[in-house]
A and B are shown apart, each in its own frame.
Chain A
Amino acid sequence: MNVEQVQNTHPELVSAETPVLQVQNLEVTYYTDAGRAKALDDLSFSLKAGEKLGIVGESGSGKSTLALAMMQMIKSPGRIEGGQVYVDGTELMALNAEDMRRSRLQKIAYIPQGAMNSLNPVMRIGAQMVDAVISHVENESKAETKERCMLALESVDLARGTFKMFPHELSGGMKQRVCIAIGILLQPQVIIADEPTSALDVVTQRQVMETIDRVRKKINAAVILIGHDMGLMAQFVDKVAVMYAGRLVEVSTVRQMFTDPQQPYSKALINCLPNLDNKGVFQGIPGLAPSLLRLPGGCAFHPRCELARDICKTSRPEPQSDKSGRSVICHLFDKEAQNEPSS
C-alpha cells in the first residue's frame, strides 16, 4: 500500500462543523491479465455526521469498489494506489491490519450487496451477532454482549426472539434487517449500505430504508447508500453523487440533482426513470458503459453524450465546484460557470 503521509489523528479536524468522513484522492487499480483497469480515479468527497449520501451509477462504474476501498477490503488483483480516508479524524489508510480490523464495524460498517445471503445458515442469529461483538470489544460480560445484541435487534424492529432463530426462519426483509442490526452493533460513525434492497419488493424496501433512517438518527451516523435506483435516492438521501467510469461526475444536493442536473449523464439517468406522466415512453441511455480497460479518450462519457463537442473527445475534464458545494466533471459545466460573471 502506498501511504505517503503517516498521520494517525488530526485533532483539528474533530469539531461539530467538520465532516465525520473525508475521502481524498482515492485511487484503486485492478491489475488484470488484459491490462490495468482504473476502477477509482482520484476520488474525493466528504460527509458530515448524520448526513445521507447516495452513490448512483451503472454496474461496473466502481460503486462497490469505492465501498471496499474505504473498508480496505480490496483484494488482489486490485490495489489501493493512493489517497486518504479519514473517519472522525483517524486516517484509515495509515492503520496496520489489526487496527483496521478493529475499526471496521466500530468506526465504519459495511452492509454488503445481498447481505441477507451472508448469514451463516447453520448458526443462530444471536451467535453470529455475539461473534461480531467479541472480535471487536474486550472485557464485556456475556450478559452485556447479549443485551447489546437484543437492543440492536429491537432498533431494527425485530422481536427479541429473533436472537435464537436460524436464518431460514426469517423472510428476506427480516434477514436484511438482521444485517443492519449487525452493522450498528458498535455504533459506527459511518455506515455504508451497498444496494441493501435490490432483491426486495417495494413494501419491504420501504420498510428496510425506514429502518436504516431511524437507526441513523439514533446513533447520528453518516450513511452512504449505494444503488442504481434514482427513485430510491430521491426518497432517502440528502446528497447524490453520480459515478461514471470510476469518477464522481456530479455531486450535488438531492434537490439540485432533481431540479437542475448539470452533467449530461446525470440528466440521462433521471430522464430514464419512469413516472406517471409519460405512459409508454421508454427512454434508455444509448450505448453501453465503457470497459475500464479501454476507456475512451477525453471525457469517458463522450461516445454516449448527446451534447459532446470536439473538446470532449480530446481533453479530460476536471472537477469544477460552485459556491453551493456542488461539484461537476463536464466541459459544458465550466463553460457556463465562465460565462455567467461576464453576461
Chain B
Amino acid sequence: MSHLLELRNVSKVYSRGLISKQSTTALQDFSLTLREDEPSILTVAGESGSGKTTLAMLLLGFIAPTTGQIIYRGKDISTLRGSEKLAFRREVQAVFQDPFAVFNPFYTVDHLLSVPIKKFKLAKSRAEARDKMDEALTAVGLRPEDIIGRFPHQLSGGQRQRINVARALLLKPRLLIADEPVSMVDASLRASILETLRNLQRDHGVSIIYITHDLTTAYHIAKSIIVLYRGAVMETGEVEAVIKHPQHPYTRLLIDSIPWPNLDQRWGEQKIITRESSGAGNGCPFFSRCAQANEQCKNPAPLFSIAPHQAAACFLHSNKPELEAAQISETLPT
C-alpha cells in the first residue's frame, strides 16, 4: 500500500439532549489520502468551531468517526489491537496547542521524554535512553544540559513547546499532528518552532498535518491547504494559490482578516456578518454569512476544480468541472 493514511467519507456528529436530540456536525463527509512515499506538510485551516480539532482527534484515534473509515497503512484504526495498536500509537504523534498544560508540574521535564522510551522499549540501558533524549533535544535546537533535570516552570513556553516536538521526534513517527502548535507562543519564538517542524519533515521524513487558524504561518510552512468551515471543505489546493488568489468567499474573509504587519495593507472593508447559532440546513454552511449568497446556495455545493491545484466548494464557480469529495487529495500537490 502506498497510502500512509486514508480517510474515507468520514463524518463526526456530536449529539446532545436526552429527549429532543440536537446534533452538531463537526466534520462532514471528509475524504483525504496521504501518500507514504512523499512526506509533506498539509495545513488544515479554519476558525474555531470549524472541525479542525475534531479532525485531529479522529486521526489520533481518540474518538471514533460516526460514519466512514480511517485507514492507516491498510488497516482500519478502529480494528487495531495489541502490537499493531502500539505501533500506530508510536508512529502517529501529536503536538498540542497549550505548552503549559501538557507538563505535570511535579516532575522534571525528563519525565515527558523518559516515559515514552520506557513504554515503547526504545532503549536497553539508562545510558542509551539518555543518549536518545540528548539527540532528540539537540534536533529541535535545545541544549540538553539546559533542559534535563529542570522543572516545567523553569522553562519558557517556546522551550516547552520544542520539548513536545522532541518527544514526538524521539518516537520516530511517520505522521505528526500539530494542533495549533504556535498559537500560544510569543511571535518571536514562533519562527524557531515552525522551522523545527519543517526540518522534521525535510530531514526525518515525517508527514505533518498542521492545524491552525493562522494563515500566515500556514503559508510559510505548508505546501497544500484545506480550508474547513463548520465541518465542510470550503477550499483546497496549493497554499500559494489559495492564499494569494482565494476563490471561496469564506477563504477571502479569512485572508481579509489577517492583521498584516504592513501599514498599506489594511484590514479589508468586507463587513463581517455575525454567524447565526442555528445550523444552515442542508445548504452551504457559509450561506448565512456570505454576502454573495443566492437561492442556489441553499443546496450543498460540490467542489469545483478551478485549477489543477485549486478547488472551491462554491456555486460562484459552477461553470468549472465538478470534483468528487474523494478527489480532494488530487488537488493537493506533494
A residues in contact (CB < 8 Å) with B: 58-60, 157, 171-172, 198, 200-207, 210, 228-236, 254-255, 258-259, 268-270, 272-276, 279-285, 288-289
Contact = CB atoms under 8 A, between A and B. Distances in A.
B214 interface: yes
A234 B190 contact: no
By secondary structure, the B interface counts as helix
B194 interface: yes
Contact of B253 (A59, A203, A281): A203
Contacts of A280: 198, 220-221
A269 B48 contact: no
B47 A203 contact: yes
Contact of B47 (A198, A204, A255, A272): A204
B198 to A, nearest CB: 8
A233 B274 CA distance: 24
Contacts of A285: 188
B86 interface: no
B266 interface: yes
A235 B189 contact: no
Nearest to A234: B261
B178 to A, nearest CB: 15
Interface string B236-273: 00001001100000000110011111110011000010
Given A59-B157, A235-B266, A205 B244 contact: no
Contacts of B272: 203, 206-207, 210
B219 A201 contact: no
Contacts of B216: 231, 274-275
B142 to A, nearest CB: 11
B157 A231 contact: no
B258 to A, nearest CB: 6
B190 A202 contact: no
The 6 closest A-B pairs by CB, nearest first: A284-B191, A231-B259, A201-B213, A282-B191, A201-B47, A206-B257
A16 to B, nearest CB: 27
Given A203-B254, A231-B261, A234-B260, A58 B191 contact: no
A157 B274 CA distance: 9
Contacts of B258: 202, 231
A200 B48 contact: yes
Nearest to A283: B191
B263 A272 contact: no
Interface in B272-326: 272, 274
B260 A172 contact: no
B25 interface: no
Contacts of B261: 230-231, 233-234, 258, 270, 273, 275
Nearest to A202: B257
A253 to B, nearest CB: 10
B186 A58 contact: yes
Chain B interface size range? 35 or more
A269 B186 CA distance: 10
Contact of B192 (A228, A235, A282, A289): A282
Contacts of B220: 274, 279-282
29 contacts: A198-B184, A200-B48, A201-B47, A201-B48, A201-B213, A202-B215, A202-B259, A205-B259, A229-B187, A229-B259, A231-B261, A234-B260, A234-B261, A236-B259, A255-B263, A258-B263, A268-B188, A269-B187, A274-B191, A276-B244, A279-B219, A280-B198, A280-B221, A282-B191, A282-B194, A282-B195, A282-B198, A284-B188, A288-B159
Given A258-B263, A274-B217, 5 more contacts: A203-B47, A234-B260, A270-B261, A275-B261, A285-B188
A228 B187 CA distance: 6
Interface string B181-223: 0001011111110110010000000000000011111011100
B179 to A, nearest CB: 14
Contacts of B159: 288
Contacts of B138: none
A261 to B, nearest CB: 11
A235 B219 contact: no
Given A272-B191, A284-B192, A235 B253 contact: no
Nearest to A158: B274
Nearest to B180: A201
A279 B240 contact: yes
B156 A288 contact: yes
B254 A202 contact: yes
A275 B259 contact: no
Interface string B14-55: 000000000000000000000000000000000111000000
Nearest to B212: A201
A201 B274 CA distance: 14
Contacts of B158: 288
A129 to B, nearest CB: 20
A280 B216 CA distance: 11
Contacts of A259: 263
Given A200-B48, A274-B216, A282-B195, A232 B188 contact: no
Nearest to B156: A288
A276 B156 CA distance: 29
B185 to A, nearest CB: 9
Nearest to B218: A274
A319 B158 CA distance: 30
A284 B189 contact: yes
B276 to A, nearest CB: 12
Interface in B140-165: 156-159
